[in-house]
Structure 1
Amino acid sequence: MAKKKVKKSLSSITNDKNRNIINPKSLKPQQTRQIIRRFHVLQKNKHSIITKLQKSNTSIDLDNYDDIKQNKIYQVEFNNFKIAKKHANNEIYKIDVTLNEIELIKILAKIDSEIEQRGGIKIYQSASNQGQTNKRGGDSSKKLIEWLKTSKYETKLKEDLNALEIGCLSPYNNISTSKIFKSIIRIDLNSQDPLILQQNFMERPLPTTENEKFNLISCSLVLNFVPSHEKRGEMLIRITKFLKSPNKGKLSSLFLVLPLPCIKNSRYFDNDKLLEIMNSLGFKQNYIYEAKKVAYWLFDWNGKVSKNIKFNKKELHSGSTRNNFCITIN
């Protein structure tokens, strides 16, 4: 008598194995774009919910995420939630002021469940990494090296230089293979390579000496991933504290990459606003390039950050189809 096939059940919240439904080695270009966009949306919604819960009188310890996961309402929603088979049918999480604590916890559980069922941070990073292969346009640092090799930077490249890569996905990109930098520190929130240090830039200890600072900082497709406009401003300010003094013509630069819609289709932000913020932090735009989906900048730092900087969230462009990307400094 033939054995009956046992249908595998979805792993519970206490199971260590993720419910991966995607093979990271066989991602197609359209899949990588869908995964990256969806992951950004989920992380943004998750941050909004936690922020709202922090403002409420909840008894849940939000500093200990395991405390949230032990909530019975959370567990039921987490285990019962099933993701849509097609991205077009993805759940739309509407988070507004009318939601109470229980409703917020339910949505949070669904978001966490969806992230796990889609393979978690590893699938997102695999999609991002594959999107940077030469077959799919190459990594963003190719444009940086192209700019650094122009006559404008010729004299600045004669000394020993170091670099910090924030959100590094591969230790074999153009920054590493260009031979411009004598030393490179690579960091990422979820490192997938032993040559990349697993570290949150916002928690990296501040430099205490000039030798601990960097001639160049690469921040490629990282700032847009920061979940709030206030934190993005804080990150830009923090970057200035890690750059070497530009005295005597030394290289002190920031390579920045953002999705093109951040400056082309935001109701609160555009390139002019970005330049206002960057100028107040002591940055001068040397190069800019807008590709089909991303924008690249190379800024030189003059070492002077203006005092009492303030940039609020203010509508610049109207339209129902615009996104809410923004950077603020208070």
Structure 2
Amino acid sequence: MDDENYNNLKRDSSYQTEFKNFKVSAKFNDIYRIDNTLAKSELIKILARIDSEIEQRGGIEVYQSASTQGQAGKRGGDSSKKLVEWLQDEKYKSRFQNVTALEIGCLSPYNAISTCGLFTSVCKIDLNSQDTAIIQQDFMQRPLPTNESEKFNLISCSLVINFVPSHNERGDMLKRITKFLKSPKNGSLSSLFLVLPLPCVTNSRYFDNDRLLQIMSSLGFIQTFFYEAKKVAYWLFDWNGRVGKALTFPKKELHSGSQRNNFCITL
């Protein structure tokens, strides 16, 4: 990217009028549609506008604060309510004895996973903590456990992997999660709660639910619950304690169509 040109465009509000001539949907509150016909100079203009718009609205801190409010129970935005609903199923009731959880990407310490009373403790981490009860930490930089007591019975990863910048890093994150789960000995809980935007599995040219299940199976996960809402998809996986043979899942077109997104997870 031409950093100097990008920074100049970001500072210069006059480019916003010129921007209307480009092949994108560019209303202030609309979705930016980008395709492979865009020249590099046009793409730089789009990125500059997006970043400028974020700053005009108060920056990432304001966005995250709004997301935190959206997780409040009264607002109906807490994805972990679905997790708690599933964990109260008959098949899980006998498995809650001194169980711990790790919530990756926690926005509120008052969400369902933290207040349901099912867990002895919930470790809450986020890249940009908005509360003293949430540890500011990158999961990919979190020190690996040295013993079972430093591992967790359940890991929540809700709307996190879709923000990981590359498809191979997303796969690395899923593999790393297995290193933080306790061994499911004697039927003890060892599970992963995963949430992704629905278009990641319904409208990607490189990815779908079948491919996700193949990847998860290769890492030793078995799907126990699945729910498709209007905008997001929820999974609960049980881990068998074993990562399978080194299967590879490369980036490969699975579905054609110009309106599809490029989300992908690879191993």
Question: What's the secondary structure of 1:319's corresponding residue?
Answer: coil
Counterpart in 2 of 1:41?
none
| Alpha-carbon spacing, 1:284–1:164, altered in 2? closer, same or farther (3 Å) | same
* Counterpart Cα distance in 1 of 2:13 and 2:34: 13
**Is 1:86 paired with 2:28?**
yes
Q: Is the 8 A contact 2:71 2:111 kept in 1?
A: no
| Alpha-carbon spacing, 1:99–1:138, altered in 2? closer, same or farther (3 Å) | closer
1:32-60, Cα deviation, whole Å (9 max, x unpaired): xxxxxxxxxxxxxxxxx5xxx8xxxxxxx
**Is 1:186 paired with 2:118?**
no
Counterpart in 2 of 1:24?
none
1:39-82, Cα deviation, whole Å (9 max, x unpaired): xxxxxxxxxx5xxx8xxxxxxxxxxxxxx6xxx54442231146
1:196-227, Cα deviation, whole Å (9 max, x unpaired): 01111111111111111111000001111112
5 Å matches for 1:131-170?
131-157=70-96, 159-170=97-108
* Counterpart Cα distance in 2 of 1:156 and 1:284: 17
Aligned-pair distance for 1:129?
Answer: 2.4
* Counterpart Cα distance in 2 of 1:91 and 1:328: 25
Question: What's the secondary structure of 1:156's corresponding residue?
Answer: coil
* Counterpart Cα distance in 1 of 2:9 and 2:146: 47
Q: Is the 8 A contact 1:229 1:327 kept in 2?
A: yes
Counterpart in 1 of 2:205?
267
Counterpart in 1 of 2:40?
99
* Counterpart Cα distance in 1 of 2:32 and 2:202: 26
* Counterpart Cα distance in 1 of 2:202 and 2:35: 24
* Counterpart Cα distance in 1 of 2:144 and 2:164: 19
Counterpart in 2 of 1:232?
170
314, 319, 324: which one aligns with 2:252: 314
Counterpart in 2 of 1:286?
224
Question: What's the secondary structure of 1:275's corresponding residue?
Answer: helix
**Is 1:128 paired with 2:60?**
no
* Counterpart Cα distance in 1 of 2:47 and 2:202: 30
Aligned-pair distance for 1:229?
Answer: 1.1
* Counterpart Cα distance in 2 of 1:138 and 1:220: 12
Question: What's the secondary structure of 1:277's corresponding residue?
Answer: helix
- Aligned amino acid, residue 182 of structure 1: T
* Counterpart Cα distance in 2 of 1:73 and 1:98: 14
Aligned-pair distance for 1:182?
Answer: 0.9
Question: What's the secondary structure of 2:119's corresponding residue?
Answer: coil
> How many equivalent pairs are there?
257
* Counterpart Cα distance in 2 of 1:131 and 1:95: 34
Question: What's the secondary structure of 1:87's corresponding residue?
Answer: coil
* Structure 2 unaligned residues grouped into runs of 5+: 17-25
| Alpha-carbon spacing, 1:75–1:325, altered in 2? closer, same or farther (3 Å) | closer
* Structure 1 unaligned residues grouped into runs of 5+: 1-48, 54-67
TM-score w.r.t. length of structure 1: 0.71
* Counterpart Cα distance in 2 of 1:296 and 1:173: 16
Aligned-pair distance for 1:321?
Answer: 1.7
* Counterpart Cα distance in 1 of 2:144 and 2:13: 42
Aligned-pair distance for 1:242?
Answer: 0.7
- Aligned amino acid, residue 320 of structure 1: S
* Counterpart Cα distance in 2 of 1:277 and 1:143: 23
Aligned-pair distance for 1:279?
Answer: 0.2
5 Å matches for 1:66-77?
72-77=4-9
| Alpha-carbon spacing, 1:98–1:260, altered in 2? closer, same or farther (3 Å) | closer
- Aligned amino acid, residue 142 of structure 2: R
Instruction: Tell which structure's C-alpha radius of gyration is larger.
Output: 1
**Is 1:196 paired with 2:134?**
yes
